[in-house]
Amino acid sequence: MSTVPSRPATRWWALAVLALTQLVVVLDTTIVTIALPQAQLEIGMTDIQRQWIVTAYALAFGSLLLLGGRIADYWGRKRTFMVGMIGFGAASAWGGLAQSGIELIIARGVQGAFAAMLAPAALAMVTVMFTHGRERNIAFAIFGTVAGTGAAIGLVLGGVLTEFANWRWCLLVNIFFVIVGLIGGARLLSESKAEGDNRYDIWGTITVILGLGSLVYGFTLAEHGWDSVDTIVFLALGVMLLAVFVWIESRVRQPLLPLHVIVNSVRGGAFLVQAVVGAVMIGSMLYLTFHFQIVMGMSPLVSGLANVVMTVVIMICSPFTTKALNRFGPRPLMILGPLFSAAGLFYLTGITPDGDYFTQVLPALALLGIGLSMLFVPLQNLSLIGVDPEEAGVAAGTVNSTFHIGGSIGLAVFTVIYAGTVGAALKGGADQAAAFTDGYSAAFFASGIAMVAASLIAVFLIRGEKDELMPQWDDEDAVAYAH
């Protein structure tokens, strides 16, 4: 049996279905962001619960992606895709009808769990459908661009739905995407799975989920002080559990995450850069949305549209980025992309309570769009370089996991920085709008520093000639993986 559709045209339609999946799981990271102020008022959420509406999805998604990749490889990629779609739609409906903050947080966590089945199954199928050459680069460029614009599209769509319908439609709209995905998946995708005696790494799964959860929760508690007992305990527990996870993975016969997948310097560098991108896209950009609505007084619709610049720039730049990738290879893009993004974030630190969008924000979003377009296109490819075909599912899960775990940690850390800055400003006599703006600026500055660090990671870890950094599978590999 083969994952690759027999007709070339069908392959590209299948890619459209899989790219739609990537759009939905990334879009749902941000689509509720615009709706959070309205949702908080309607169902009476606290500020901590408001943050966890975003964190619950990203954390569940990131923590379970490795398991999702293994399920896709062992149980069947198409089957995993279809079940993930159904569960994601059901969780979306539950969240859209939620009557309390706790219920909404749980629904968002369930959403993330089923998204963790969808994403690696989709990327693994793309990997084997397009095995080498120009078509592979185009396919990954499309997939990467969709992933890159999904977060921004979520902000725009969330604004439209919140303004003209209700915040609940930011979740209920997923049902329409799910219907399209199920019909397209049933007609265009073929089943495949890894053969042999495949066993799940139960203890590895438990330790990595609890370890990541403890780590993110510990960063969240740091808002009350880095030296508080709870913060120290949960951060230490998270590190300890992740160390146990690494020990388990080095000893089990079929690990959840084969350690050689991440210890390769190029792949490891790509994973680290992806984590920083997740921290910025999920963590700090949330505060730009708050600045639009809370300080600048924009409506949800206008707030969503205010982010369109970054999306448009990413879409315009992606074809040029793809050509640059083919000509120069991924390393220059991975070094320059974070620097352009950092420049945009540092520019945002100049926002003021009475500032103008066109002078204080728009140029920054354009710089961010240029930088992110340079990252999204090569990242997926680099994350799979040198990976054996039978391990493509877990590698795909890892690249998505790093984005969302990075986002969860980034959101927690930037929240601590924001809250500390706001508190200091209020104590110093600043009014609320000025204090909030100072907090947003501090979060953007920290994000810019993180992006500079990402560029340095690329300098030191992503090394090699162009051809060495452009992975290719031959037809024999593709057939082996498909079966």
pLDDT in tens, the chain (483 residues): 444 444 566 778 888 888 887 788 878 877 887 888 788 888 888 877 887 888 888 888 888 888 887 888 788 888 999 999 999 999 999 999 999 999 999 999 999 999 988 888 887 788 777 766 677 777 777 776 776 667 667 777 888 888 888 889 989 999 998 999 899 888 888 777 766 667 788 899 899 889 988 988 888 888 777 888 988 999 999 999 999 999 999 998 888 888 888 888 888 898 999 999 989 887 777 888 889 988 998 888 888 888 888 888 988 888 888 888 888 888 999 999 999 999 999 999 999 999 999 999 999 999 999 999 899 878 877 877 777 766 666 676 687 778 878 888 888 888 889 888 998 999 998 999 999 999 999 999 999 999 999 999 999 998 876 666 665 544 444 433 333
354 and 215 both lie in a single domain: no
Tell me which of 234, 255, 276 is where a domain ends: 255
Nearest alpha carbon to residue 36 among 290, 314, 212: 290
293 and 441 both lie in a single domain: yes
User: What pLDDT does residue 37 have?
Assistant: 79
21 within a domain of the structure (yes/no): yes
207 and 318 both lie in a single domain: no
92 and 225 both lie in a single domain: no
Tell me which of 255, 274, 300 is where a domain ends: 255
Distance CA 279, CA 273 (A): 10
Contact 92, 65 (CB under 8 A): no
2 within a domain of the structure (yes/no): no
219 and 330 both lie in a single domain: no
Domain count, the chain: 2
First CA to last CA distance, the chain: 6
118 and 250 both lie in a single domain: no
217 and 207 both lie in a single domain: yes
110 and 228 both lie in a single domain: no
Tell me which of 211, 238, 255 is where a domain ends: 255
User: What pLDDT does residue 349 have?
Assistant: 95
336 within a domain of the structure (yes/no): yes
19 within a domain of the structure (yes/no): yes
Distance CA 481, CA 388 (A): 9
Nearest alpha carbon to residue 269 among 379, 127, 388: 379
3 within a domain of the structure (yes/no): no
CA 423 to chain CA mean position, Å:
30
Distance CA 348, CA 188 (A): 44
1 within a domain of the structure (yes/no): no
Distance CA 391, CA 249 (A): 15
Contact 377, 245 (CB under 8 A): no
pTM above 0.75, yes or no: yes
User: What pLDDT does residue 387 have?
Assistant: 73
237 within a domain of the structure (yes/no): yes
Distance CA 364, CA 343 (A): 7
Give the structural domain span for 31. 8-192+256-482
CATH number for the domain spanning 370: value is 1.20.1250.20
Exposed (0-12), middle (13-18) or buried (19+): which is 251, by Cβ within 10 Å? exposed
152 and 284 both lie in a single domain: yes
243 and 119 both lie in a single domain: no
Q: Among all chains, which residue has been given the structure tokens 């309390």?
A: 100
Distance CA 286, CA 350 (A): 17
67 and 146 both lie in a single domain: yes
88 within a domain of the structure (yes/no): yes
Distance CA 322, CA 140 (A): 9
Distance CA 287, CA 247 (A): 38
134 and 251 both lie in a single domain: no
